[in-house]
Structure 1
Amino acid sequence: MDETESLNRAIHEEVALFPYDPAWPTLFEKERDRLLDLFPDQFLALEHIGSTAVPGLSAKPIIDILAGVDSISRADELLEPLCRAQYATSMEYNASLVGRRWLMRWAEGRRTHHLHLMVHGSEEWHRRLAFRNSLRVDTELAQRYEKKKRLWVAEFASDREAYTAAKGDFIKEALKNAS
């Protein structure tokens, strides 16, 4: 699948939530180990983030991996080798991102993983981990987030960008209230 086709399929894929699957952490571990084998000494850390990293939370069944690198230029250097290692991305989309790079992995006709490359220890790195950790320890916050996600799916099922934007507003508010 070429870059344009894979990105178009991702953009136009309908948003759907699935019940928590206890296999998600294992799927993360397998992909983390595969990346570490393929790219020894390239990642400072690989973290499972997103809703699949929160036990009990419904999610899109795509494993989000936060990959810490020492610089954005290192992330840029890794894009092509990662694409040779079964990931796909859009160089145009990545050029629009500040402080991170994004790739996706496909298997059996659907996206299975998102890989978020960012500078290890950056503000955005800490923000993403803080939200994941808040959801893991605050059951009430996780329940509110899931309820909101269900409403957003109903409203934005065919508009992935609007769904993502709605989640972003919730995350900002949750992190503001946590600090």
Structure 2
Amino acid sequence: MDATTPPPAGAAWYRQAPVRLRPYDPDWPARYAEEAELLRHTLRGSLIAIEHVGSTAVPDLAAKPVIDILAAVPSLDEFPAVIAPLEGIGYVYTPESEADDPSRRVFRKGPQDPATFRTHHLHVTEHGGRYWRRLIAFRDHLRSHPEDVAAYLALKQGLAARHAGDPARYTREKRDFVREIERKAGIPAG
């Protein structure tokens, strides 16, 4: 399994909120910047880099209104030191999510109602590692290739229309497109 593979059915930590895309919101970068500042303050001394990733980081791309944040720590060996500070600002650590990619740790923030979108997903990894490179390359490729943004938007809209009630399938069926963009961006498979 990898970062584009949804969790097994019944995984308690996985939110089964219906897939509802929103048109690109120009406030998403500001929401990221505000949260990034809070994270920099909270994790001072542990944080090497922080980036806005995912669909909300790509202008003109519709998305689920969840701000994806990629944060780098010096080493995952030092990861336990960030759990309590992040929980103190409302993040919930989901160690179960490591099953689909052991090179990252995931926190979620926002309403606990499973039918409601979270507000933020925080992906913690090592700076420069494969997971870091994949997410940055995917975002940067889309930011500079409007034709691929249009293709991704059409794919997401079609999948959301067909699989609104099955977020795991929505995610799974985007996998080939994501892998193709990663290939174009120079990230080798694997």
TM-score by length of 1: 0.88
Choose which of 67, 78, 82 in structure 2 pairs with 1:78: 82
* 1:12 alignment partner, SS class: coil
- The yes-or-no answer on 1:34 pairing with 2:41 is no
Q: CA deviation at 1:130?
A: 0.6
Deviations 1:120-178 (A, max 9, x none): 10122111101100110100000000000011112221222222222222111122134
Larger proportion of helix = 1
Choose which of 20, 41, 48 in structure 1 pairs with 2:24: 20
Choose which of 150, 153, 161 in structure 2 pairs with 1:146: 153
Separation in 2, partners of 1:79, 1:163: 30
Deviations 1:96-136 (A, max 9, x none): 64100111111596411100001110122111101100110
Separation in 1, partners of 2:171, 2:80: 24
* 1:40 alignment partner, SS class: coil
Separation in 2, partners of 1:167, 1:14: 16
Separation in 2, partners of 1:14, 1:8: 16
Q: CA deviation at 1:33?
A: 0.3
The equivalent residue for 1:48 is 52
Q: How does 1:85-104 map to 2 (within 5 A)?
A: 85-94=89-98, 97-104=101-108
Q: CA deviation at 1:94?
A: 3.4
Separation in 1, partners of 2:80, 2:101: 12
Q: CA deviation at 1:85?
A: 1.6
The equivalent residue for 1:3 is none
Runs of 4+ in structure 1 off by over 6 angstroms are none
- The yes-or-no answer on 1:171 pairing with 2:175 is no
Separation in 2, partners of 1:71, 1:43: 10
* 1:61 alignment partner, SS class: coil
The equivalent residue for 1:4 is none
TM-score by length of 2: 0.83
Structure 1: which 5+ runs fail to align?
1-6
Separation in 2, partners of 1:147, 1:75: 38
Does the CA-based 8 Å contact 2:95-2:106 persist in structure 1? no
- The yes-or-no answer on 1:111 pairing with 2:118 is yes
Does the CA-based 8 Å contact 1:50-1:63 persist in structure 2? yes
Relative to structure 1, the CA distance from residue 78 to residue 114 in structure 2 (aligned partners, 3 Å threshold; closer, same or farther) is same
Relative to structure 1, the CA distance from residue 156 to residue 93 in structure 2 (aligned partners, 3 Å threshold; closer, same or farther) is same
Residues paired across the two proteins, number:
173
- The yes-or-no answer on 1:66 pairing with 2:70 is yes
Choose which of 153, 159, 169 in structure 2 pairs with 1:162: 169
